[in-house]
Structure 1
């Protein structure tokens, strides 16, 4: 029986306005009270994921920065995998001077960017972190959990993805969280790796996990669980790679919450 529920945030659990709806809150809180474990799995920084967990008012595991950091039910960091210092420097040099791409970095509780052009998909309102511009010659490249590149020039990002894979595939994971955001983490960091760690801690098989996602950075998480669902609004490439998975309603219409209600609550409506 599925007792562990893992969900991506942006494009999945969150509405298009990047909010947790009242209905979704109600469903998640109810299932938590009934003994289900929740895992919030996101490319977002820990600080932002923790704010969402606090809004839900539940205890949950958190997989942040695409698996670079994993937190337990008591908000304790139980795993961290940083990018190699030299790899981080090499990544930052790739498009530092390209006016069509923003190079962004999560380092500890800092958020660094090389430019803030809105036309390059810079969205500071989505995070409570305060960004600051960095100098590539003076930045401390230790303890970088994620480097990501944003742009509305999708072809440039796809070309960049190919270049990173060709040169660094043995030491990094490269995924699109959305068409305008290319994310890079250590090879040891992924949402799927985070789920495997939590599975060991709980001593519950991954066959008893159910997961939800919409982006290419969710692929290994969705492939890892006993049951997985893809959002209707998901990246078409993800749907093509995992054609056997169930496609559910989009995030605009509370897709995850409605699925959970129908699967776990509907037949017991007298207690909801």
Structure 2
């Protein structure tokens, strides 16, 4: 019976240096011939498809934390965007704070409000080149994701609280990694994407094996029959999902080793 294997990228399948090891590539290539793979990431579609091609497999793709979902033939099967009004208000909140970069995805473009500090978001394995945007002359429609990056984690945690107070019922907000706070529409999430794909394939969620490390993986992991959390994962995720199995870190081929034990070794 074919299962669904869903994997996050940053902090999970990719090493801390944003690499795919040969062992990981070989293991996933082998399993992709027998099971359905879903790559579930906060990254833009153009980045996800690039990584998917490095793996040399066919896969479903949940991108921008679920705002854009693609089938095995790269066809868009779901799309949801933040409202123009909320996007504009989100971008205003810390626009002038030089310690926080406000960023967004609009169609196939990546925009940031300043490059005064080092931008640690996806430093490699990205084909996107950012452009600067201004509050005064930017169109805030068709935005799939707004996100904030900073080395000042205290400021990001306070920002998270403020945004939740203002828009909790209209958005989904999560840290994908400690220095990256991401906002998508209320309907959008990796878990919603996994449910959609499972329905399309007529496969029970009980036959889904999911791997993640960040708070944006929580609902995806919670609905999967088998869920696995990386050793290097956010401590909050481990505490929220105590029944998930903790596996080796992303720098130790944790996903590939676990998949080998489940599907190949026996």
Number of residue pairs aligned between Structure 1 and Structure 2: 266
Q: Distance in 2 between matches of 1:217 and 1:208?
A: 21
CA contact (8 A) 1:120 1:150 kept: yes
Q: Tell me the CA shift for residue 140 of structure 1.
A: 1.1
Per-residue deviation, 1:125: 3.9
Equivalent residue, structure 2, for 1:58: 57
Alignment of 1:129-208 (within 5 A): 129-208=128-207
Q: Distance in 1 between matches of 2:11 and 2:140?
A: 30
Tell me if the contact between 1:147 and 1:185 (Cα under 8 Å) persists in the aligned partners: yes
Residue equivalent to 2:27: 27
Give the whole-Å Cα distance in 2 for the aligned partners of 1:190 and 1:74: 21
Q: Residues 125-148 of structure 1, C-alpha deviation per residue, up to 9 Å, x if partnerless?
A: 452101011011111111100000
- Higher mean C-alpha displacement, 114-123 vs 57-66: 114-123
Unaligned 5+ residue runs, structure 1?
Answer: 268-272
- Computed over aligned residues only, the root mean square deviation of the Cα atoms, in angstroms, reads 1.2
Post-superposition shift, 1:243?
A: 1.2
Q: Secondary structure at the match of 2:265?
A: helix
- The corresponding residue for 1:110 is 109
Counterparts of 1:157 and 1:20 in 2: how far apart (Å)?
29
1:97-145 deviation line (CA, Å, top 9, x unaligned): 0111000010000100011133463555452101011011111111100
Determine the C-alpha separation between the residues in 2 that align with 1:6 and 1:114: 33
* Aligned twin of 1:265: 264
How far apart are the structure 2 equivalents of 1:133 and 1:169?
28
Q: Secondary structure at the match of 1:118?
A: coil
| Runs of 4+ residues deviating >6 angstroms | none
Cα offset, 1:93, TM superposition:
0.3
Q: Shift of residue 27 of structure 1?
A: 0.6
Answer whether contact 1:2 1:210 (CA < 8 A) is retained: no
CA distance in structure 1 between the partners assigned to 2:90 and 2:109 by the alignment: 18
Once the two structures are TM-superposed, the CA of residue 72 in structure 1 deviates from its matched residue by 0.1
CA contact (8 A) 2:101 2:150 kept: yes
Q: 1:236 to 1:57 in 2, by over 3 A?
A: same
CA distance, structure 2, for counterparts of residue 121 and residue 56 of structure 1 = 24
TM-score (structure 2 length as normaliser):
0.97
Q: What's the counterpart of residue 228 of structure 1?
A: 227
Aligned partners of 2:217, 2:32: CA distance in 1, in Å? Answer: 23
Counterpart of 2:210 in structure 1 is: 211
Rounded Cα–Cα distance in structure 2 between residues aligned with 1:45 and 1:218: 16
Which residue number corresponds to residue 254 of structure 2?
Answer: 255
- Paired with 2:54 and 2:118, the residues of 1 have a C-alpha distance of 30
Give secondary structure in 1 for the equivalent of 2:102. strand
Question: 5 Å matches for 1:116-131?
Answer: 116-119=115-118, 121=120, 124-131=123-130
**Match of residue 40 from structure 1:** 39
